[in-house]
Amino acid sequence: MFMEIPPGADLSQIAFIANPDGSPPNFVDPPSLKAVTCAVIIILMVISFLMVLFRIRMNLKGQEKFTYDDYFCIVAWILATVYGAIVISATPTARHAWDVPLGAIDASWVKRSAVLGTIYGPAMWFAKTAILTMYLRAFGIVRWMWWCCHTGIAFLFCAYWSLVPVSVTYNFPLRAHQHWDLALSLSSTPAQLPFVIMGLISVVSDLYILILPFPILLKLHVSRRRKIGLCLVFATAAIGIVSSCLVLYFRVVLWKNMTQDATWYVASSYLTVAVEINVAVIISCVPAAAASWKLFSQESRPFLSLRSAFKSSRNLIHVASGSNLTAGKMPKPYSGIKLASLESVGARS
């Protein structure tokens, strides 16, 4: 429960709520999510940045113009980076509520929360639309895939962008008596339900995105090894399902007020959302990154030397074992697939 604040009290010395076990607040070295939040978000920001670079490299290598999914991916990455940076700046309150001083819930903290709630929807829409438009380029000639992708894009637009007016209405001081303070933050409680619903939609949409390409991939007339490789590339979308489920869990906890430890669960929610957005960006770049790596392996002299040495060693082993397999009779690697191949997806990304 909230503590009664005496007039003129120093808010930096009063905890947000009283400790349930009666212990005094710890403002010096309390348990905190700051370290894990900074480490996880920075690592994901670096990975997503590199993946976007791989994507851009494939475009420049193919001397093609950017397509819609490239632009969507870049915008999603920018929003993901902004979201992660704001979350890192809010880590001083990533503690148990009884170890957070009331003075920490100031105007800057409330403003950061308002911005995070507002850009979440657009960031997720751009990231998931980048994946769906990539499917359109790779598999768009299949009519049912064309309809599924466009339906998904339209539905997610209505769902995610609807959070923007909700966030503005509840998280911004639009009325004369409202200010950037704790009272405004507490009055935004009704906005939690739409975000819970959106958490559920995120889980379902991630499942949709994961399953969508597999009917086509499994029917491709390619070697089993290549087919498994392609399925593994697109199966990276399963990582997004895990992060979406965590986001949904923390939002349900906050919505049902299952705990008074609000600051801890808010910080956990911010962290998982940052993971969710960055993972969505990374997933949209995986095919291009895989193709970029293949291109690098084909052009890199050290890599070619290493591969040549490996093949020579393997041939010597066959000769020593009495095998009739010679270097001239080595099976040729598969050159590529015509429809929805990893190379075609990456080269046009």
Range among 124-133, 205-214, 235-244, 283-292 with highest mean pLDDT value: 124-133
Each residue's pLDDT tens digit, 99-119: 888 888 888 999 999 999 999
pLDDT score, position 84: 94
Torsion of CA 270, 274, 277, 280, to 10 degrees: -130
Q: Which residues of 269-282 are buried (b: 16+ CB within 10 A; e: fewer)?
A: bbbbbbbbbbbbbb
Q: Is it the case that residue 169 has pLDDT exceeding 50?
A: yes
**Least confidently predicted of 26-35, 53-62, 165-174, 260-269:** 53-62
pLDDT band at 188 (very low <50, low <70, confident <90, very high): confident
pLDDT score, position 90: 87
Percent of the residues in the chain that have a pLDDT greater than 70, as a whole number = 73
More confident residue, 292 or 282: 282
Range among 19-33, 70-84, 137-151 with highest mean pLDDT value: 70-84
- What class, spelled out in words, does domain 28-347 have in CATH? mainly alpha
Amino acid at 8: G
**Mean model confidence pLDDT for the chain:** 78
pLDDT band at 146 (very low <50, low <70, confident <90, very high): very high
pLDDT band at 283 (very low <50, low <70, confident <90, very high): confident
Give me the mean pLDDT over the 66-95 stretch.
91
CA 118, CA 217: separation in Å to the nearest integer?
37
Give me the mean pLDDT over the 230-249 stretch.
77
**Least confidently predicted of 125-134, 177-186, 245-254:** 177-186
pLDDT band at 272 (very low <50, low <70, confident <90, very high): very high
Residue 173 contacts residue 182 (beta carbons within 8 Å): no
Q: Is it the case that residue 303 has pLDDT exceeding 90?
A: no
Domain boundaries, the chain: 28-347
More confident residue, 15 or 73: 73
CA 51, CA 288: separation in Å to the nearest integer?
8
pLDDT band at 141 (very low <50, low <70, confident <90, very high): confident
Percent of the residues in the chain that have a pLDDT greater than 90, as a whole number = 32
Give me the mean pLDDT over the 292-314 stretch.
48
Give me the mean pLDDT over the 274-294 stretch.
77
pLDDT score, position 232: 66
Total-model pTM: 0.78
pLDDT band at 83 (very low <50, low <70, confident <90, very high): very high
